[in-house]
Amino acid sequence: MNTINLTLEVWRQSGPAADGGFVTYEANDVAEDMSFLEMLDLVNEQLIATGEEPIEFESDCREGICGTCGVMINGKAHGPEKATATCQLHMRKFDDGDHIVVEPWRATSFPIIKDLAVDRSPLDDIVTAGGFIGVNTGSAPDANLIPVPKETADAAFDAAACIGCGACVAACPNSAAQLFTSAKIQHLNLLPQGQAERWKRTEAMVETMEQFFGSCTNHGECTEACPKEIPLDFIAYTNRDYVKSKIKNRKLAGQS
Amino acid sequence: MIGSLDPRVPDGPVADKWTNHKFDMKLVNPANKRKFEVIVVGTGLAGASAAASLGELGYRVKALTYHDSPRRAHSISAQGGINAAKNYQNDGDSVFRLFYDTVKGGDYRSREANVYRLAEASVDIIDQAVAQGVPFAREYGGLLDNRSFGGAQVSRTFYARGQTGQQLLLGAYSALMRQVAAGTVDLLTRTEMLDLVVEDGRAVGIVTRDLLTGEIASHSAHAVVLATGGYGNVYYLSTNAMACNVTAAWRAHRRGALFANPCYTQIHPTCIPASDEFQSKLTLMSESLRNDGRIWVPRDPDETRMAKDIPEAERYYFLEEKYPAFGNLVPRDVASRNAKTVVDQGLGVGPLKNGVYLDFAVARERDGVESIRAKYGNLFDMYERITGEDPYERPMRIYPAIHYTMGGLWVDYDLMSNVPGLFVLGEANFSDHGANRLGASALMQGLADGYFVLPYTIGNYLAPLLGTNPLPTDHESFRAVNAEVAERTRHWLEIKGTRSVDWFHRELGKICWDNIGMARNSAGLEKALSEIPALREEFHADVRILGGDEGLNTSLEKAGRVSDFFELAELMARDALTREESCGGHFREESQTDEGEALRDDDNFAHSAAWEWTGSDTEPIRHTEALEFENVALTQRSYK
Amino acid sequence: MATTMSRPKPEPISKPPRQLPFPLSLYQTAVGKKWVMALTGIGLLGFVLAHMIGNLHLYEGPVELREYAETLRDIGTEVIPRTWFLWGFRLGLIAMFALHIHAAYTLKAMSVKANPSSSVLDGTKKYEGGQDFIAVNFAGRTMVASGTIVGLFIVYHLADLTWGVLPWVDYERGDPYHNVVSSLENWPVALLYIVANILLAMHIFHGTWSLFQSLGINNPRYNGARRAFAGSIAAVILIGNLSFPILVQAGLVDEDNCTAPCGITGEEVEAEEAGQ
Residues A103 and A145 in one domain: no
Task: Identify the closest residue of chain B to A122 by CA–CA distance.
Answer: B69
* C260 pLDDT tier (thresholds 50, 70, 90): very low
Cα-based distances in Å from B192 to B96, B219, B222, C153: 39, 12, 19, 60
- What percent of chain B is modeled with pLDDT above 90? 87
- Considering only CB atoms, C7 lies closest to which of B212, B220, B473, namely B212
pLDDT at C121: 53
The hierarchical CATH code for the domain B267-402 is: 3.90.700.10
Query: Where does residue A132 rank: exposed (0-12), middle (13-18), buried (19+ CB within 10 A)?
Result: buried
- Considering only CB atoms, C126 lies closest to which of A106, A111, A237, namely A106
- Considering only CB atoms, C22 lies closest to which of A101, A225, A246, namely A246
Which of B332, B397, B536, B600 is flagged as catalytic?
B332
Contact C32, A246 (CB under 8 A): yes
- Considering only CB atoms, B278 lies closest to which of A34, A67, A153, namely A34
Residues A180 and A235 in one domain: yes
Average confidence (pLDDT) over B110-131? 98
Give the domain CATH number at A94: 3.10.20.30
Chain A: nearest CA to B489, how far in angstroms? 17
Q: Closest Cα partner for C131 from A107, A211, A63?
A: A107
The B2-4 sheet, strands edge to edge: B2-4, B621-626, B607-612, B259-260, B408-409
* Chain A / chain C CB contacts < 8 angstroms: 179
pLDDT at A242: 94
Residue A49 domain boundaries: 3-114
Q: Nearest 5°: phi and psi at B82?
A: -135, 130
pLDDT at B135: 96
CATH numbers and ranges of domains, chain C: 29-121+134-275 (1.20.1300)
B381 and A CB contact within 8 Å = no
Q: Closest Cα partner for A116 from A100, A97, A129, A103?
A: A103
Q: What DSSP designation does B225 have?
A: E
Query: Between chains, do B547 and A137 touch, taking CB under 8 Å as contact?
Result: no
Secondary element (H or E) of residue C240: helix C223-250
Cα separation, B117 vs B129, in Å, equals 18
pLDDT at C4: 46
Position C183 pLDDT exceeds 70? yes
Residues A188 and A248 in one domain: yes
B122 Cβ neighbours under 8 A, 6+ residues apart: B82, B83, B84, B85, B86, B95, B98, B444, B448
Residues A29 and A126 in one domain: no
Chain C: nearest CA to A77, how far in angstroms? 9
pLDDT at B332: 80
- Domain end, chosen from A61, A81, A114, is at A114
The structural domain count of chain A equals 2
Low-confidence stretches of chain A (pLDDT < 50) are none
Stated length of chain A: 256
Give the domain CATH number at A191: 1.10.1060.10
Q: Where are the alpha helices (DSSP H) in chain A?
A: 36-50, 121-130, 150-160, 167-171, 178-189, 198-212, 221-225, 233-247
* C135 pLDDT tier (thresholds 50, 70, 90): confident
Contact B64, B48 (CB under 8 A): no
Contact B387, B397 (CB under 8 A): yes
* C219 pLDDT tier (thresholds 50, 70, 90): confident
Q: Closest Cα partner for B55 from B224, B167, B177?
A: B177
Query: Between chains, do C218 and A76 touch, taking CB under 8 Å as contact?
Result: no
Query: Between chains, do B69 and A121 touch, taking CB under 8 Å as contact?
Result: yes
pLDDT in tens, B81-111: 999 999 999 999 999 999 999 999 999 999 9
Query: Between chains, do C214 and A239 touch, taking CB under 8 Å as contact?
Result: yes
Q: Closest Cα partner for A66 from B163, B486, B172, C127?
A: B163
Contact B369, B356 (CB under 8 A): no
Determine which of B4-18, B487-501, B626-640, C146-160 has the lowest per-residue pLDDT on average: B626-640
Stated length of chain B: 640
Q: Answer whether CATH 1.20.58.100 is correct for domain B486-626.
A: yes
The single-letter code of the amino acid at A124 is: D
Residues A125 and A250 in one domain: yes
pLDDT at C268: 54
Task: Identify the closest residue of chain C to B209 by CA–CA distance.
Answer: C5
Average confidence (pLDDT) over B520-525? 97
Going from N- to C-terminal start, the domains of chain B cover 267-402, 486-626
* B60 pLDDT tier (thresholds 50, 70, 90): very high
Contact A70, A105 (CB under 8 A): yes
Position B219 pLDDT exceeds 50? yes
Task: Identify the closest residue of chain C to A209 by CA–CA distance.
Answer: C12
Q: Identify which has the larger pLDDT, C222 or B469.
A: B469
Residues A88 and A172 in one domain: no
In angstroms, how far apart are the furthest CA atoms of chain C?
96
Subunits adjacent to chain A (3 or more Cβ pairs under 8 Å): B, C
Preferred mutation among B215, B222, B471, B550 to probe C, highest tally of C CBs within 10 A = B215
Query: Between chains, do B133 and A191 touch, taking CB under 8 Å as contact?
Result: yes
Contact C35, A245 (CB under 8 A): no
Query: Between chains, do C1 and B217 touch, taking CB under 8 Å as contact?
Result: no
Residues A194 and A233 in one domain: yes
Assembly ipTM: 0.97
* B79 pLDDT tier (thresholds 50, 70, 90): confident
* B449 pLDDT tier (thresholds 50, 70, 90): very high
Helix (H, G, I), strand (E, B) or coil at B169: helix
Chain B: nearest CA to A232, how far in angstroms? 20
Chain A: nearest CA to C132, how far in angstroms? 5
Residues of A in contact with B141 (CB under 8 A): 147
Query: Between chains, do A33 and B180 touch, taking CB under 8 Å as contact?
Result: no
Q: Are strands B37-41 and B223-226 parallel, antiparallel or unpaired?
A: parallel
Cα separation, C190 vs B1, in Å, equals 100
Position C272 pLDDT exceeds 60? no
pLDDT at B80: 83
Contact B175, B168 (CB under 8 A): no
Query: Between chains, do B140 and A150 touch, taking CB under 8 Å as contact?
Result: yes
Question: How many other CB atoms are there within 10 angstroms of residue A163's CB atom?
Answer: 27
- Start-to-end CA distance of chain C, whole Å, equals 95
Query: Between chains, do B500 and A45 touch, taking CB under 8 Å as contact?
Result: yes
pLDDT at C266: 52
Task: Identify the closest residue of chain A to B281 by CA–CA distance.
Answer: A62
Query: Between chains, do B215 and C2 touch, taking CB under 8 Å as contact?
Result: no
pLDDT at A15: 93
Residues A127 and A69 in one domain: no
A107 and C CB contact within 8 Å = yes
- Considering only CB atoms, C124 lies closest to which of A76, A173, A207, namely A173
- What percent of chain B is modeled with pLDDT above 70? 99
Residues A250 and A126 in one domain: yes
Query: Between chains, do A246 and C23 touch, taking CB under 8 Å as contact?
Result: yes
Residues of C in contact with A242 (CB under 8 A): 29, 31-32, 216
Is B622 a known active-site residue? Answer: no
pLDDT at B375: 82
- Considering only CB atoms, B170 lies closest to which of A129, A160, A191, namely A160
Average pLDDT score over chain C = 87
- Domain end, chosen from A114, A148, A173, is at A114
Residues A91 and A215 in one domain: no
Position C131 pLDDT exceeds 50? yes
* B387 pLDDT tier (thresholds 50, 70, 90): very high
Position B10 pLDDT exceeds 60? yes
Q: Identify which has the larger pLDDT, C172 or B580.
A: B580
pLDDT at C276: 47
pTM: 0.95
Residues A99 and A225 in one domain: no
Contact B433, B106 (CB under 8 A): yes
Residues A174 and A247 in one domain: yes
- Domain end, chosen from A96, A114, A132, is at A114
Average confidence (pLDDT) over C17-33? 90
